[in-house]
Amino acid sequence: MNDATRLFGLLVLSTLAWRAPAAEPADVPQVAASLDPLFTAFMAENHVPGLVFGVVHDGKLVYTRGLGIQDTATHTPVDADTVFRIASMSKQFSALATLKLRDAGKLELDAPAERYLPELARWKYPTADSPKIRVRDLLSHAAGFVTDDPWGDRQLPMSEDDFTTFAAAGVPFSRAPGTGYEYSNFGYALVGRLVTNVAKRNYADYITANFLKPLGMDASTYDIATIPKAHHAIGYRWENDAWREEPALGPGAFGAMGGLATSANDYAKYVAWVLSAWPPRDGAESPILRRASVREITRPANYTISFPPLDATGCARSSGYGFGVHSQNDCILGQHFLHSGGLPGYGSNVLFVPNRSLAVFAFANRTYAPASRVVRDAANLLVKSGAFPVRAAALSPALRAMLDAAVHIYASGDVMSEPAAFAMNFFLDRDATLRNADIAALREKTGACRAPDAPTADNAMSGTFELPCEHGTVKVNLILAPSGKPSLQKLDFTQ
């Protein structure tokens, strides 16, 4: 174990110590093992020869299962050391590499990309008023390139010299840069070239040295020729009721968009490291990349859209693209982020639920295996089980003080029992007499109430809390004013 890996482990442990206690440890593997039938059915329905999935929680791989075979010739079973291509899930590594160079002062996200990619300097833009493509546009699929999954996947073997020639000739635009989201593998190939130019070493070497090696991902590679045969998941397509081996693609200039190969044991280290960036906090930073920069990839850059429920028991989702991940929100998982991967011979998906320190991923060796739905179903099952609770932070001192004031006000029945607790707007919005009448009416229904036992909140300045009462509960919603001294701009009591 190298020093960076050891320090990373200590940082994860310190993060876990900060968080609220999880469910009993015995619950976690038992619940995770209940996913086996879900993935077994997915394989049968989609003619997948081999698959591995994993559940990462609180900094470790708490469950993994290999199903099926990695090679139809040898029938070698899939296990946690089997190496799969993860296709477009590679984009996260390219985005993080770009942010590492940004943090080092070597590039600017809002600079014209041509500053670092001279091949773009002579491009003809689609309109006279088109802005220059920025680095940020490449990372967020807003450069104006056409969606290119079928074409882009076949470019993985393109040499660096051929890529230079191709890029210098210019490409047709689908739209003006910055006016819409279109998923572009070519755009991420340009990100790889940008990393190469700025770092002054090939993007694959830079990512390996600065991310894979420090994380201990020694089985992971951009060069599939280096994968030991005993651990190599061969890629297949299902055609004419039989599996047909797909040709191996790469390595090459397009690998930055989809060229990484990894195992479940290796990838879980990366997933745990990403999750360790939550929650924001004081303390030592990871030597690999600062936590704020890791969280930055999940910030939707543009073009938030909505998806309807997947089924009658589901819920609608909002979604926007950050840097190498889709950032989403729904009524089951809350805030989460994810990305799929698809290549000839492979299909994969990963889904992170950071406020539960939870992630699920799956790799399969069948062309474009649609793993996103089964991974989401798995994540939903885990969250609904109750074994992976939200990691809520303890109250800030200011919020704690104002909650104590609110409890005293309700007990006394008089808002003026805490006259110093209110911001200047409070009694202008509704006077003390009317507020006291509201409290009196509610107290007749609920009787005496007490403070909540272990209150938590999503942020340091507001929250909704439940007071246990003689007859039911009372909800207290409070918002602090944006002023130096803690004070309440809003306080409501409801049943």
Give the domain ranges of the chain: 3-98+200-385, 393-494
Q: How high is the pLDDT of residue 287?
A: 97
Residue 27 has pLDDT above 90, yes or no: no
Report the range of poorest mean pLDDT among 68-77, 187-196, 305-314, 454-463. Answer: 305-314
Distance (Å, rounded) from C-alpha 286 to C-alpha 341? 27
Residue 97 has pLDDT above 70, yes or no: yes
pLDDT in tens, 299-320: 998 666 778 888 777 788 899 9
pLDDT in tens, 171-215: 999 999 999 999 999 999 999 999 999 999 999 999 999 999 999
Average pLDDT over residues 401-423: 97
Distance (Å, rounded) from C-alpha 379 to C-alpha 364? 17
Residues of the chain above pLDDT 70, percent: 94
Residue closest to 186 by CA, chosen among 134, 246, 247, 253:
253
Q: How high is the pLDDT of residue 6?
A: 37
Residue 484 has pLDDT above 70, yes or no: yes
The angle formed by the CA atoms of residues 117, 119 and 121, to the nearest 5 degrees, is 85
C-beta neighbour count of 313 within 10 angstroms: 8
* Mean pLDDT for all residues in the chain: 93
How does DSSP assign 23-66, residue by residue? S-TTHHHHHHHTTHHHHHHHHHHHT-SEEEEEEEETTEEEEEEE
208 CB contacts (<8 Å, ≥6 apart)?
Answer: 220, 221, 222
When pLDDT is cut at 50, 70 and 90, the band that residue 12 belongs to is: very low
Q: How high is the pLDDT of residue 303?
A: 65
CATH of 3-98+200-385, one of 3.90.1150.180, 3.40.630.180, 3.40.710.10, 2.40.50.1020: 3.40.710.10
Residue closest to 234 by CA, chosen among 339, 344, 150, 153:
344
Residues of the chain above pLDDT 90, percent: 88
When pLDDT is cut at 50, 70 and 90, the band that residue 394 belongs to is: confident
For the record, the structure tokens of 379 come out as 């994540």
Provide long-range contacts, Cβ within 8 A and 24+ apart, for 119-126.
Answer: 119/164, 119/167, 119/168, 119/193, 120/167, 120/190, 122/168, 122/170, 123/170, 123/171, 124/170, 125/173, 125/176, 125/177, 126/173, 126/175, 126/176
Residue 4 has pLDDT above 80, yes or no: no
Q: How high is the pLDDT of residue 390?
A: 92
Q: How high is the pLDDT of residue 125?
A: 97
Distance (Å, rounded) from C-alpha 288 to C-alpha 415? 51
Q: How high is the pLDDT of residue 16?
A: 32
When pLDDT is cut at 50, 70 and 90, the band that residue 393 belongs to is: confident
Calculate helix-pair angle for 160-168, 185-199, nearest 10 degrees: 110
pLDDT in tens, 202-248: 999 999 999 999 999 999 999 999 999 999 999 999 999 999 999 99
Residue 8 has pLDDT above 60, yes or no: no
Residue closest to 279 by CA, chosen among 268, 269, 291:
291
Average pLDDT over residues 24-28: 58
Residue 158 has pLDDT above 70, yes or no: yes
pLDDT in tens, 429-452: 999 999 999 999 999 999 999 999
229 CB contacts (<8 Å, ≥6 apart)?
Answer: none
Query: Which residues pair with residue 358 across a beta bridge?
Result: 57, 353
Q: How high is the pLDDT of residue 304?
A: 66
When pLDDT is cut at 50, 70 and 90, the band that residue 10 belongs to is: very low
Q: How high is the pLDDT of residue 3?
A: 39
